[in-house]
Amino acid sequence: MQLRYNFRVYPTPAQQASLARAFGCARVVFNDGLRARQTARENGEKYLSDGDLSKQVITQAKDTPERAWLGEVSSVVLQQALADLNAAYRNFFASLSGKRKGRKVAPPRFRSRKDNRQAIRFTKNARFAVLDNGRLRLPKIGDVQVRWSRSLPADPSSVTIVKDAAGRYFASFVVQASDTPLPPADAEVGIDLGLTHFAVLSDGTKVTAPKFLRRAARKLKRLQTALSRKAKGSNNRKKAVVKVARAHARVADTRRDWQHKLSTAITRDNQAVYVEDLCVTGLGRTRLAKSVHDAGWASFTAMLEYKAARYGRTFGRVDRFFPSTRMCSDCGRAAEKMDLSVRSWVCPCGTTHDRDHNAAKNVLAQGRWDNSNACGAQVRPAPVPASRREAGIHPDAACSTRSVEGISVL
């Protein structure tokens, strides 16, 4: 599988100026290509092919006085900027036709020089190289110092130089890495994600939500207040913007590091991992939006998925409409609507359930059922006859009951 390895780089002032020039040229080529296609569409002309567009906005543009400075940067950077535009159009058309699953994709927009994130990409054609002294050689930029935290498992196929909002520079290498299966494990686990506890495992383990954004709220508020008092366009305002960006970057980096450690531990100790497919986008529009985004469920489950594939583990997602919270993990009876304030409940069969632990056990059982274990044994509670009220489909079941199913918030 293809993996990305990110490392901090420290360009010199002269190299930073060269990188800024490359960022600007890539942005101009992207915008020129987008403008050319929009103009062709408005004039009723046919869609410009990738080859014709490259000749118009790169090859021919270099011969004009207005775009002669495009020759000061590597041509691969310009070609990759145009490749990003072509990919954006393909995704947009695939979304319109229904071939691309998920949310609708908007058409590409013009890039601004004021964007918080700037990036350029070098492929093998650019002949970038990692030197023996540990520096990264980039064409028309120079040998850049890299802070290596580990060695690359193979030769990279491309490298992306990124400048984030906090003014930091990173080198992101794309590497074709081979799978490294771990020794088989006996345990399997179901995970119920929440807000009070970030994760409750089917074995009873509860992981407290770290709430990195909430913990940094006081400092962020102070920095945002200081930013609001700076005059627009002043140098002091630019410095205040960088301070706010650095504070947010620190929160994001801390959260990412914590999620990597937790996902690695869970993947290492369990042969199969099952989670509930939560609608994070929908929950991000509720009154719990700040807490939902602070938790970072989507990035955590994505880490579990790719690490399971790399280390030879099984990963599965349970349907979001599965009643994991209000279904008894012993007898399989589904209770009525359950308010979020209910932290424990008693099933008519006499079993007392902790809300989150019961949901995690149901996620594990349903995940095993969906993945149909090899021996074909019964792995979830046996079905029980539904009561008269449960036999029909309730009109409000999808919009009210299932929208927050399995989420611990209190």
276 catalytic per annotation:
yes
- Per the annotation, the verdict on 294 as an active-site residue is no
CA angle 64, 66, 69 (to 5 degrees): 85
Q: For the segment 320-342, what is each residue's pLDDT rounded down to a tens digit? A: 888 887 788 778 777 777 777 77
Any catalytic annotation for residue 396?
no
Catalytic member of 32, 188, 294, 356: 356
| The predicted structure's pLDDT at residue 377 | 41
Which of 192, 294, 305, 405 does the annotation list as catalytic?
192
User: What pLDDT is recorded for position 372?
Assistant: 60
Strands, sheet with 2-10, edge to edge from the N-terminal-most edge strand: 118-123, 158-163, 169-176, 2-10, 142-147, 136-138, 129-130
Which stretch of DSSP H or E encloses residue 29?
Answer: helix 13-42
**Given 276, 294, 305, 405, the catalytic residue:** 276
In the chain, what is the greatest distance between 2 CA atoms, to the nearest angstrom?
Answer: 83
Nearest CA among 347, 362, 379 for reference residue 202: 362
pTM equals 0.82
DSSP single-letter state for residue 118: E
Residues of the chain predicted below pLDDT 50: 373-410
